[in-house]
Amino acid sequence: MTDHDAFLGLEPAGLWAHFSAIAGIARPSGRESAIADWIAGWAETRGFPVRRDSVGNICVSVPATEDMPGARVVALQAHLDMVCVRAENAASDPAAGKIEIVHDGEWIAASHSTLGADNGIGIAAAMSLAESKVIPHGPLELLFTVEEETTAKGADGLDPSLIQADVMLNLDAESSGVLMIGCAGSAWTVLHWPAPREPVPEDWRAVQIVLSGLRGGHSGLDIGKNRLNAIKGIVSVIRCVSESVPIRLCRLEGGDAFNAIPIRALAIIGFPGAMASECAGSILAAQSHLATRYSATDPELCTSQTTVDPRGLKSWSEGDGDRLLDLLSVVPSGVLALEQDAPDQVETSNNVGIVTERGDVIEVHSLARSSVASALEETLASIESAARLAGAEFTIIPPVVPPWRVAPDSAAQAVVQEAYRDLFGREPRLVTVHAATESAIILQRIPRLDIVSLGPEIQHAHMPGERVNIPSVIQFYDLICEVVMRLASSSVGGRVAGGSSVR
């Protein structure tokens, strides 16, 4: 479904050609074998050695150009997987390698799904640089990792022997003009809440409520924008109804990814047949309240209510249903603290990303983030306390990602800053991002590495409408080429002289 015409005339041509091909390969987390095999095939046709480790990471070794004998080895790192989210009833289906792509002014975008620029542009940039005939560079190691968007399995299980470099450029930042020098730590939690269900009382009716049309977004980068979480929203709707109508909760689910703010949730509730009008009115009142409260952040918010045949329908008891709603109400979601020295930046947050049913067990998936290790621990403790009170099992899915900061004497940071200044006539912004990065985990596996992170301008990551800015991709690629040239000219740990970028 990828529209190759969207990329016509774009520069760097090789980068966009690779990205066009990547966009047509299904690569949700945990299913990266197709994209890994495709990269291996590309490398083998060019005589680049390929190595893989036991968790599925792939490393392509690219020899130095003839004019750079004995140069230092530089690693370029990106992740293979993408978040696969699509609008309701969209023809696009990233999980199947079907993405409707449009060229809209200065942007390449997916109108109805995620695009996969996170981190497909990083993959494409590394490949384009590796096959360039005009950019001098030392030996390159292209490291492509798996499951960055979910378990961080690739970074956490990375075989250190894949990498000989002492400096690494992570290509997964999402803001142009920014050098990412740190990140929040994170932890993925899952609550398992078991409770049997029983038949809905006789003479009761049932209705399915769907809350949709929300903007969602990245659970770290967008968490401070005060957008409605669909799971929290549907709980609010149910509670509003229960204030005036006796109900039994029969079903509750929502969200597509634990690291994306949910855009849709649904519930089925039973209620006395004689109170159908009261129930419908309460649902409309709840929608009106949410629509007013979130009119600026989620202007397309809507709810629908559809009659469901109650025959054979089962519900939780009143007490169990209340406990589930209590659990989902008290598990924190959203911004929990701001940075003390930068109050416009989020320090600590939690995102309730998925509620789903597995038999008689409800699973609640959340992602907690903080730039302060002790604050992350406190957030996890509060989620565990909520689980204990509700009778749910609390689990942390490894790894717990620690906060990461570039060392003050980082040679890589100095080289990138100097190259950026020489290329663009201004200083890059140095930022720590409220999102866990693989850099923090990779540094644990290979402590000698000097890592910095950069990328183009990507907006609406992890949500339908994801897009990447075309001029920023050009700058991103020029900067990578310039930095690689300068690093090749430097001694280990040293500063280097200026160069000139050649696309």
DSSP result, 66-77: TT-TTPPPEEEE
Buried b or exposed e, range 110-142, using 16+ CB within 10 angstroms: bbbbbbbbbbbbbbbbbbbbbebeebbbbbbbb
Which pLDDT score is estimated for 500?
37
Note if 148 is an active site residue: yes
Q: Using DSSP, state whether 468 is helix, strand or coil.
A: strand
Task: Please say whether the beta carbons of 351 and 261 come within 8 A.
Answer: yes
Res 67: pLDDT: 85
pLDDT of residue 349: 98
Percent of the chain with pLDDT over 70: 97
Torsion of CA 334, 340, 341, 343, to 10 degrees: 40
Whether the pLDDT of residue 503 is over 70: the answer is no
Distance CA 336, CA 366 (A): 14
- The pLDDT value recorded for residue 501 is 38
Surface-to-core class of residue 89, CB atoms within 10 Å of its CB (0-12 exposed, 13-18 middle, 19+ buried):
exposed
Active site residue 422: no
Scanning 47-160, the segments in alpha helix (DSSP H) are 117-131, 153-156
Q: Which domains occur in the chain, in start order? A: 4-184+403-489 (3.40.630.10), 187-401 (3.30.70.360)
Query: Annotated catalytic residue: which of 32, 81, 147, 256?
Result: 81
Residue 402's pLDDT band (boundaries 50, 70, 90)?
confident
Retrieve residue 222's tokens.
């967008």
Query: 74, 165 in Cβ contact below 8 A?
Result: yes
Report whether 249 contacts 325 (CB < 8 A): yes
Close Cβ partners of 303 (under 8 Å, ≥ 6 residues apart): 209, 210, 211, 212, 237, 283, 284, 286, 287, 290
How many other CB atoms sit within 10 Å of the CB of residue 109?
Answer: 22
Which entry of 32, 100, 148, 438 is annotated as an active-site residue? 148
pTM: 0.75
